Amino acid sequence: MDIENECLNIDGLSKSYIVNNEQIDIIKNINLNITEGEFISIVGYSGCGKSTLLKIIAGLVSYDIGSVKLNGQEIRQPSTDVGMVFQDHRLLPWLTIKDNIAFGLYDMDKYEKEKIVMEHIQLVGLKGFENVYPHQLSGGMAQRAAIARALVHKPKVLLLDEPFGALDALTRIQMQKEILKIWNKEKTTMILVTHDIDEAIYLGDKVVIMSSRPGTVKKRLSVGIGRPRDRTSYDFSVLRKDIYAEFFKEDYELPDYAI
């Protein structure tokens, strides 16, 4: 990897909690180097520390050992350099979509703020819905607004913590396509946590597989499939089989239709 193009460096990262006077290790000795503009998918069992890892990168949770650096600067607190989208949209119900997206844009000329907010409303496909309230939107549209709110600060890294997990299957697929459009346009480094292996392959340049708790990086796989990706293709099926095998350690056979 070209060191000059590295964006996020995670070195020897460990985190534990004390519960009933007992130390519970959550993640242990995580090492990851992520290049500027990469799309990284992280998969693993529930409770393996995936979301904790994202919250540490976002500066929302402290860590015990190791370091997390963005362009050489250690992350110890939240900043606009790192945006985060959660599974639930977390929009403020008393604000319109436009005002939710503008929330946090301080010390800015109001005309410049309006321009930036409307650009991001257009980016996520919500033009015409800027003056509605969150309860008036579908789940997918609300998540689009949450993505716009995270991107409006022009973060260097966007963290996606199961952002489509609460959506129905068809809306989820559409949102995956939308996030790829945004990624291609904005060139933002993105890190996705998901339980959906197909989603991880479809979106990611690389798939990082984490072990059960304490979470460690078990394996890194380069996807190596051109975009747009066909979920029914042979290459996609082979990679899916490899990832499932890491979890279940069974000799999965490819279905006849995939050969």
Q: Show the domains of the chain with their CATH numbers.
A: 3-81+155-258 (3.40.50.300), 88-154 (no CATH)
The pLDDT assigned to 106 comes to 79
- Whether the per-residue pLDDT at 86 is higher than 50: the answer is yes
- Lowest-pLDDT choice from 103-107, 124-128, 142-146, 237-241: 103-107
Token pair recorded at residue 12: 């020897």
- pLDDT, averaged across the chain: 91
110 pLDDT higher than 50:
yes
pLDDT per position as a tens digit, 179-196: 999 999 999 999 999 999
Q: What is the pLDDT at residue 254?
A: 47
Residue tagged 């716009």 (tokens): 148
What percent of the chain has a predicted confidence (pLDDT) above 90? 82
Integer angstrom CA distances of residue 114 from 48, 108, 203, 210, 247:
41, 10, 31, 41, 47
What pTM does this model have? 0.91
Interval 36-57 mean pLDDT:
95
Distance, in Å, from the CA atom of 171 to the CA atom of 166, rounded to the nearest integer, reads: 10
The CA distance from 74 to 192, in Å, is 21
